[in-house]
Amino acid sequence: MTSTNPHALASAGRIPAPSCAACKVRQLCLPDHADEDGCAGVDRLVLQRYRLLRGEHLYQASDPVRQRLYAIQSGQFKIYRLSPEGRHRVAGFRGAGDLLGLESIGLANHRNSAVALSDAVLCEFSQPMLAEAALRDTPLARRLDQLLLAELTREQAVSLLLCESGAEQKLAGFIERLSAARCRRGEDGRVLELSMTRTDIGDYLGLAAATVSRTLKRFHGLGCLAVSKRQLTILDRAGLGAIASGQDARAAGLAQPGLAAVHGRPGRISRRADG
């Protein structure tokens, strides 16, 4: 279940190689500079492709670093660690098109654990081989830098998000980011099928699971979000955005009056409503 070496497992393991050219998230991944031969170049760098089952770990904190990078072809991952006092702290979620393992480059042991939240398919690279290939392949080098910079930008955005004091701002921002990520993959950004638990979200945003649950319900009451188990449907993007920016949701004008929104309990959103 928690094996670090996924190859050892039953229906998880090496799978026949669907090439980069056929990959749906190619343009988010290494072969972005994607003429046919660019793809072939990246294809040759893939050590192997394999499947991970939900709940299996790709690596765990304190495991020795094997100098691998993993491109997620499909599936969702949670990156987390145990904080010094023993609490779960979620460093992030990753999905199709993202790279795993960047954070571990140059380390002797992993600082984070990576676990599959859904069945997933990965492409495994050797990090040193990639670096060496980049020396001769300028577009590849550019692409790697680009991905690294994107990662940096994302992380900065997360920091700013976490700075927001209110649970509503954090959660609304989180949902927006989730939605944006889906859109980037060409999926519908309105319907979000969560792969993580409320607790995971809380451990990511610095909130209690109970607060996540309550806040989602509040969004529902405001009419900007439909919540059904792990499926979120964004009903009012502008309203969510307003909350994420710290504005009063009602003042910002929730989309259509006449929705469930109107019956929302008054006076819950925003400490600035009457300030």
Partner DNA sequence: CGTATGGTTGATACCCGTCAACCGGTGTGG
Partner DNA sequence: CCACACCGGTTGACGGGTATCAACCATACG
Nearer to its own copies, 121 or 131 (CB): 131
Quick check: 116 binds DNA (CB under 7 A)? no
Write out the two tokens for 67: 């100098």
In the chain, alpha helices (H): 36-45, 127-136, 138-163, 167-184, 198-205, 209-222, 237-244
In which order are the strands placed within the sheet that holds 99-100? 13-14, 46-52, 120-126, 68-74, 99-100
Quick check: 108 binds its own copies (CB under 8 A)? no
Quick check: 265 binds DNA (CB under 7 A)? no
Nearer to DNA, 7 or 217 (CB): 217
3-state secondary structure of 125: strand
Nearer to its own copies, 9 or 129 (CB): 129
For residue 128, CA distances in Å to 60, 68, 125, 175, 195 come to: 21, 8, 9, 36, 32
Nearer to its own copies, 6 or 202 (CB): 202
Quick check: 208 binds DNA (CB under 7 A)? yes
Q: How far apart are CA 66 and CA 221, in angstroms?
A: 48
Quick check: 141 binds its own copies (CB under 8 A)? yes
Nearer to DNA, 124 or 168 (CB): 168
User: Min. distance of Cβ 8 from DNA in angstroms?
Assistant: 19
Which partner from the list its own copies, DNA, none does 166 bind, CB cut-off 5 to 8 Å by kind?
A: DNA
β-strand partners of 78 = 93, 115
Fill in the per-residue mask, 133 to 172: x = in contact with DNA (CB under 7 A), - = not in contact: --------------------------------xxxx----
User: Min. distance of Cβ 201 from its own copies in angstroms?
Assistant: 12
Tokens 């690279």, located at residue: 125
Fill in the per-residue mask, 217 to 256: x = in contact with its own copies (CB under 8 A), - = not in contact: ---------------------------xxxx---------
Instruction: Please enumerate in sequence order all residues whose Cβ is within 8 A of that of 194, keeping only pairs 6 or more positions apart, or say none.
Output: 178, 201, 230, 231, 232
User: Min. distance of Cβ 7 from its own copies in angstroms?
Assistant: 27
Q: How far apart are CA 39 and CA 31, in angstroms?
A: 5
Write out the two tokens for 61: 């904190």
CA 50 to chain centre: 20
Q: How far apart are CA 158 and CA 175, in angstroms?
A: 12
Which partner from the list DNA, its own copies, none does 152 bind, CB cut-off 5 to 8 Å by kind?
A: its own copies
Query: Which residues of this protein are in contact with DNA, per CB under 7 A?
Result: 165-168, 197-199, 202, 206-217, 227, 229-230, 268, 271, 275
Query: Which residues of this protein are in contact with its own copies, per CB under 8 A?
Result: 81, 83-85, 87, 89, 91-92, 102-103, 105-106, 131, 135, 138, 141, 145-146, 148-149, 151-153, 155-156, 158-160, 162-165, 203-206, 244-247
